[in-house]
A and B are shown apart, each in its own frame.
Chain A
Amino acid sequence: MKKTLCITLVFLLIVSAVSFANGGGEGKAAADDELTIVVMPKLVGIPYFNAAEKGAVAAGKDLGVNVIYTGPTTADAAQQVRMVEDFIARGVDCIAVAPNDPAAMTPVLRKAQQAGVLIMDWDTPADPSVVDISVHQIDDVEYGQMFWDKLVEFAGKDTMDYAIITGGLSAANLNCWIDAGLKYAAAKYPGLNLLTERVPSDEKQQVAYQKALELIKAYPSMEGLICFSSPAPIGAGQAIQEKGLQNDITVIGCALPNDARPYIKDGSVDAALLWDPATLSYLTVYLAKKALTGEAITDGMEVPNVGKIGVSADGKTIIMGAPSEFNKDTVDNYDF
């Protein structure tokens, strides 16, 4: 028993060393009067949200607020709800969340709001009734439509068979863009023929790669592929590159330029449309600080490092601006 105890103690020392080295310092670094803002992505460890982390942290440094950027390790709403509960217990000033599922977050966000925490959503909207400020990257309808416009532009024709690969069937923002785009395409490009229902790729590059290969095999007539969620076009690009179909299939997707660069360069992915996630998270922290210090947020105001923002009529929906297009010629201008 004594031996067991000794080993236990030594082991706990190691664990505590790991914990202190990484997390313990953070709490102390924050002065007591500093505002603490939690920016929570859908999940951590994917390129898109890694880029967003840089922006959130930079904003924290620029504005003198304590930013905690953390989220679940899988895109699970249950895990995310638990993390928000923990932060209510900790007592933070603002929680800005990109919900994996808006409905699941409603009870916990209401609880946070009652506890006096400023509630924001970013990247993906939460239930509007429990949100104080909602930060949108783009106008959803315009963004969705842009994919179909680009597909036609890069393919050079508006009559073809195409398919859609999406991140997950239940992601609200992805569905919103696809629905807007499909509606638009039905009216403007009647010659476009959607081969099959949107194909989910679990927000994973490997799955998107397999699904793209399956689509290529199942539909030899396919000439266009629209990919939503940032790992999807990279997976599709990998499949196109492997099969040497760069000139036969036009791929339009939303992807980070650094990840998609090799595929954009060789034409496997024709164009990627995306806002800069770092700018989005920067704006989120900026607005959180404005709101917490009681300053007004107005339509058309100039935000440093972000640009002009739009505020919709309800006064709490903020729109960052138009997305950037990364293609063969422009991709090297971006680094994220």
Chain B
Amino acid sequence: MKQINTKKYRNEIILFIVFISVFILMSAISPSTFLTVYNMQSMAYQMPEFGIMTFAMMVVIITGGINLSVTATSALSAIIGGLVLSTLHSNGIGSFWVIAVSLIGFLIAAAACGALNGFVVAYVGVTPFLVTLATMTLFGGISVKITKGGAISGFPESFFFFGNGDVFGIPFPVIIYSLIILVTWILLNKSPFGLRAFMLGCNPKATLYSGVDTKKLLLKLYIYSGLLCGISAVIMASRYNSAKDTYGSSYLLQSVAASVLGGTDIAGGYGSVLGVVIAVAIIQVIYSGLNIAGLNPYLTNVVIGLILIFVLAINYLNSLRNRD
């Protein structure tokens, strides 16, 4: 029984070893500055927005697709939600309603973006890569059109809480992130919906012939992906106290990298929620650790690239060995 478990979680175990090693390494490079409570907190506030966006990417990758519009979706929903927020706030409406209504604004905008992606991918049948490349440009264009290139700001103080507050010392973004991890895990690993999503990634034809409405399934997955972008947008808008078309644009390829590092098969059909969580943590520790050490940021990318190649190579070798 135990043997089976280590085999099943081999990928996660390797990732965890890498995580621990990287963590120790960073602590060794800058012992007095990396290994501090303040830095741990600071990293905890930074991780959720990126982690949630990585899940938005991952749920689409497991179907064999890709969502290149994650950052654009997030930015657009932040701009629409932010617009609602600042407009209501400046009209002096009570802060509870302002926030409640604007949160709905964030999520509706994000879900609509996801639905557009899902509709074109599933019902029109265009390749996800092309669809989301197009919507990335489309959403980005709408964002710039609305903001005229500036940033939307003027949010109420209470909105600050989503990205900067804490509950009993636990950063609020971390609480949101934990909930997302749990929901995504249940959805993918404990529900028929998740099983069908993995099946679809392995073999779309067989999935269709076994009676699954694959079009509806895809549509739902893209909407879920969009919603996650919207939640990430809430955290970002709160943390940066404004919304703009370019916020988080560097997360796009990083989220693909984190998904793949976490063991998600880029061809679809496999993905591990736990793996992605560890992968996101690895990337966070490397970024913050090397930054604190004063390393040239290009070398940070070099290190992340090396780790990516390394983990992928190990996974590949392992899969070869398993096949023998």
Binding site for B on A (CB under 8 A): 1, 4-5, 7-9, 11-12, 14-16, 18-20, 22-24, 26-27, 44-45, 68, 70-79, 81-83, 85-91, 100-107, 168-170, 175
Contact = CB atoms under 8 A, between A and B. Distances in A.
Chain A contact surface mostly: helix
Nearest to B46: A82
A20 B295 CA distance: 9
Contact of A24 (B18, B29, B151): B29
B198 interface: no
Contact of A73 (B17, B22, B290, B301): B301
28 contacts: A1-B6, A7-B310, A12-B22, A12-B25, A15-B307, A19-B299, A22-B295, A23-B295, A23-B299, A68-B294, A76-B247, A76-B248, A78-B49, A78-B248, A78-B249, A82-B46, A82-B288, A83-B291, A86-B287, A89-B36, A89-B38, A89-B39, A89-B292, A104-B244, A105-B240, A107-B239, A107-B241, A168-B246
Contacts of B247: 76-78, 101, 104
A86 B42 contact: yes
Contacts of A22: 295-296, 299
A236 to B, nearest CB: 20
Contacts of A8: 14, 17-18, 21, 314
Contacts of B242: 101, 103-104, 106
Given A70-B294, A73-B301, A85-B45, A103 B240 contact: yes
A45 B306 contact: no
Contact of B241 (A14, A78, A89, A106): A106
A104 B34 CA distance: 25
Q: Which 6 interchain pairs have the tightest Cβ spacing?
A: A169-B149, A23-B295, A103-B242, A104-B240, A170-B149, A89-B39
B29 A104 contact: no
Interface in B242-301: 242, 244-251, 287-288, 290-299, 301
Contacts of B244: 77, 101, 103-104, 170
A170 B144 CA distance: 9
A100 B250 CA distance: 13
Contacts of B307: 15
Given A70-B296, A170-B245, A85 B42 contact: yes
Contacts of A15: 25, 303, 306-307
Given A12-B21, A20-B29, A81-B240, A169 B293 contact: no
Contact of A19 (B6, B144, B293, B310): B293
A304 to B, nearest CB: 26
B95 interface: no
A123 B133 CA distance: 33
Contact of A16 (B25, B33, B287, B314): B25
B189 interface: no
B184 interface: no
A88 B38 CA distance: 9
Nearest to A45: B298
B236 A86 contact: no
Contacts of B148: 169
Contacts of B306: 11, 14-15, 18
B149 A168 contact: yes
Given A19-B25, A82-B46, A104-B242, 14 more contacts: A8-B17, A19-B299, A24-B29, A27-B29, A70-B291, A72-B297, A76-B250, A89-B36, A90-B39, A104-B247, A107-B239, A168-B246, A170-B150, A170-B246
A285 to B, nearest CB: 15
B124 interface: no
Given A86-B288, A86-B291, A91 B33 contact: yes
Nearest to B17: A8
Contacts of A170: 144, 147, 149-151, 244-246
A71 B297 contact: yes
B151 A26 contact: no
B302 interface: yes
A44 B46 CA distance: 21
Contact of A27 (B30, B144, B310): B30
B87 interface: no
B246 A11 contact: no
A68 B292 CA distance: 10
Given A85-B45, A107-B239, A23 B33 contact: no
B153 interface: yes
Contact of B310 (A11, A70, A89): A11
A168 to B, nearest CB: 7
Contacts of A70: 291, 294-297
A19 to B, nearest CB: 6
Contacts of A105: 240
A27 B294 contact: yes
B295 A19 contact: yes
A103 B294 contact: no
Contact of A44 (B34, B147, B297, B318): B297
Nearest to B295: A23
Contacts of B164: 107
A165 to B, nearest CB: 14
A107 B161 CA distance: 12
B240 A44 contact: no
Contacts of B241: 103-104, 106-107
B65 to A, nearest CB: 25
A21 to B, nearest CB: 9
B25 to A, nearest CB: 5
Given A27-B30, A78-B49, A91-B33, A73 B42 contact: no
Nearest to A89: B39
Contacts of A74: 249-250
